Amino acid sequence: MSEKLDRLKEILGEVSDLQHAESVLDWDQNVNMPPGGSEARGQQLATLGKIAHEKSTSDEVGNLLEDLKSEITDSDSDDAALIRIAARDFEKAMRVPAKFVAEQAIVTSKAFETWIEAKGKSDFTIFRPHLEKVVELVREYISFFPPANHPYDTLLDDYEPGMKTAEVQTIFDNLRPKQVELIKAINSAKQVKDDFLHKKYSEKKVWDFGEAIITKFGYEWSRGRQDKAPHPFQTTFSVNDTRITNRYEVDNPLSTLYSAMHEAGHAMYEQGSNPAYERTPLAGGTSLAVHESQSRMWENLVGRSLPFCEHFFPELKKTFPSQLNGVSVKSFYKAINKVESSLIRVNSDEATYNLHVMLRLELEIGMVEGKFAVKDLPEIWNAKMNDYLGIVPPNDAQGVLQDVHWASGLMGYFSTYALGNLVSAQLWEKINEDIKDLDDQIRKGKFDTLLGWLREKVHIHARKYDPQELVQRVTGSKIDAAAYVRYLTKKYSDIYGL
């Protein structure tokens, strides 16, 4: 290994350390920090962000990358991938002033704390001035980059490298009518009963049961933990420290189980990253869509499958005998897959979930273009919910304030949720080709073969391959909706007798 490559890895390792320290502070803000600490926390994040930015955009890094591009000739090697991705990150970071990075950290830290207050009081006006500042900074961020086919391309590329807004819109435009058609067919069928899911359940027992499930999945507690937070999420400090958060909802108590499965899916992806990539730009997931494919796979394709219910439901019934008295495995399976227009994205069913995402994408594009003013968002949100799902939120908390992403400055993010659904189905078809008895294994509570397949085909590669290349390598095609449509149609035709 050359001295130049050693030196580059040394600097990038320090940048990684700083970024992970930021993640620790962000995790603490969600899990432990008192509200009064928000201003100081914003300053702390700003300082770390500024130092990391300055270090990663130094002349030395630029010169090392330029020299190493010609020195490393094996294009499929880890070192070549490191140089390629580090160079891309460098070129992007060079366009963004350190002062802007610091300001954004302060603004989003305040916005996050205000979002919590606004959501608690269901009052968008509390959050509005902070979101206006966030949107202003998002537009300023876009201005640092060369004009793209669409200004939103710049934001999308941060989360889904190489993907264009027009591509996502085309995929969604083709997918939307198929999902709407399926929903209409379901609405004309006899609705399933799910009243037993909304009874009173012990929070501790639900929490413990969720942890038992993800332990069987393969989430390694020696390298992770689960804590309470206002919004479930997963965060990584290293390949040996990848954490999840969860919450308990009184009106929807068993959603805690599925949030645990979802976030564990993210975390197991990170735990499966090649340890050799630690403290380099190769570590972690290749994109948010691929990341989301892992969480949605464990939550839905595994966790809401009939074989999974056949394994776990008897134990769940023992844990909650009064709540599940008289409920059969098949009834439980149908209930957890009930299709019904709902207000909250994270609790929505598989058939309607993507419509929630499409709505948010439309609003984000509108804000970026200046077509939608922040002050009008509650009204626009409610109108779009009516158009997309036929329901209107009764308040801001269940409407425009339900997601944390905008408070954190994460615009360009939402479409990756729906793209992740598509990737999960593409991978699932390939997995079932390779693991012929997968249903039987799940029915027996055996998940090591599935996790091993994902480790080998997806997790170990981390960021070495761009998302479209990785999906192509594993499934034979780029991101496409066909497999997901097949999955939904078959599943819900069986459940609703279509």
Q: 47: helix, coil or strand?
A: helix
pLDDT at position 231 is 84
The amino acid occupying position 177 is P
Q: What is the pLDDT of residues 91-145, one digit of tens each?
A: 999 999 989 989 999 999 999 999 999 999 999 999 999 999 999 999 999 999 9
End-to-end CA, the chain:
61
Residue 238 has pLDDT above 70, yes or no: yes
Rounded mean pLDDT, 21-27: 96
Does 158 fall in a domain?
no
Q: What is the pLDDT of residues 455-487, one digit of tens each?
A: 999 999 999 999 999 999 999 999 999 999 999
| Cβ 257 vs Cβ 213: under 8 Å | yes
Residue 263 is among the residues annotated as catalytic for this protein:
yes
Report the residue count for the chain.
498
Residue 331 has pLDDT above 80, yes or no: yes
Does 268 fall in a domain?
yes
Residue 1 has pLDDT above 60, yes or no: no
Does 154 fall in a domain?
no
Among residues 115, 147, 179, the one where a domain terminates is 147
Closest by CA to 387, choosing from 359, 414, 363, is: 359
Does 153 fall in a domain?
no
Rounded mean pLDDT, 242-263: 95
Q: What is the pLDDT of residues 373-394, one digit of tens each?
A: 999 999 999 999 998 898 999 9
Domain encompassing residue 109: 3-147
Does 237 fall in a domain?
yes
Q: What is the pLDDT of residues 31-81, one digit of tens each?
A: 999 989 988 998 999 999 999 999 999 999 999 999 999 888 777 899 999
Together in a domain, 268 and 242 = yes
Residue 265 has pLDDT above 90, yes or no: yes
Q: What is the pLDDT of residues 399-427, one digit of tens each?
A: 999 999 999 999 998 999 999 999 999 99
State which H helix or E strand residue 336 sits in. Answer: helix 329-336
Q: What is the pLDDT of residues 136-162, one digit of tens each?
A: 999 999 999 999 999 999 999 999 998
Alpha-carbon torsion, ordered 145, 146, 147, 149, to 10 deg: -90
The amino acid occupying position 480 is D
Residue 102 in tokens = 């610091």
Please, which pLDDT band fits residue 363 given cuts at 50, 70 and 90?
very high
**Sheet with 234-238: strands ordered across:** 226-228, 241-246, 234-238
Question: What is the pLDDT of the chain when averaged over all its residues?
Answer: 95
Together in a domain, 355 and 244 = yes
Alpha-carbon torsion, ordered 205, 206, 210, 215, to 10 deg: 0
Total domain count, the chain: 2
Max distance between CA atoms of the chain, in angstroms, equals 70
pLDDT at position 38 is 87
Q: Exactly one of 263, 350, 362, 364 is catalytic; which is it? A: 263
pLDDT at position 230 is 86
- Cα separation, 362 vs 139, in Å, equals 16
Q: What is the pLDDT of residues 339-352, one digit of tens each?
A: 999 999 988 999 99
pLDDT at position 98 is 87
State percent of the chain over pLDDT 70.
100
Together in a domain, 108 and 28 = yes
Q: What is the DSSP string of 240-274?
A: TEEEEEE---TTSTTHHHHHHHHHHHHHHHHHTS-
User: Which pairing describes strands 241-246 and 234-238: parallel, antiparallel, or unpaired?
Assistant: antiparallel
Domain of 296, CATH number, reads 1.10.1370.30
- Cα separation, 270 vs 282, in Å, equals 12
Q: 437: helix, coil or strand?
A: coil
Together in a domain, 317 and 285 = yes
